[in-house]
Amino acid sequence: MPDILSPPPEQFLREDAIRGGMDLMLFAHSRHLQHADEELAKLNLGRAHHRVLYFLARKPDMPVNEILTILAITKQSFGRVANALTEQGLMESRPGDRDRRQRLLRLTPAGAKLEQDLFIVLHDNMARAYGASGGQAVAGFWVVMQHLMGTEAQSIFARIQRA
């Protein structure tokens, strides 16, 4: 394994350090999701489908409006993803308990299995990286990521973490 690189601490706001950070995010994101991308491609699904699977696994019976807010997408964009997941028997919806017009989304057993199979590899990769980095680095990572996402997403993230 190559040596882990760090910018000089006193120069973390320089353009080369910021570009290096962007490089890190882009490389890490694509490599971290590579296995999931490959498995989803076998089903003619992609990252948008994966995000829906992931969040519905976190919160079954999620209202459509909530998933739209979490993913920051339009109802039209979500419709294409939802149709594909439903047609493949990975997601289902039911009317709300109090408002029958509301649609509550959940994974089917096949959808839950797919999401779990994808998550195992992601979990192992995150656990490996967290373990190699240590608690202080992980805490710093959480802080940086929350500052990158902006206040609206921070609120959504906090709600998910409290649930």
Do 67 and 52 form a contact (C-beta atoms < 8 A)? yes
Q: How far apart are CA 130 and CA 52, in angstroms?
A: 25
In the chain the domains, ranked by start, together with CATH numbers, are 25-133 (1.10.10.10)
| Tokens representing residue 134 in the block | 């240590």
pTM of the model: 0.91
Query: How confident is the prediction along the chain (163 residues), in pLDDT tens digits per residue?
Result: 678 877 777 888 889 989 999 999 999 999 999 999 999 999 999 999 999 999 999 999 999 999 999 999 999 999 999 999 999 999 999 998 888 889 999 999 999 999 999 999 999 999 999 999 999 999 999 999 999 998 999 999 999 999 8
Beta bridge partners of 92: 106
| Tokens representing residue 88 in the block | 């493949």
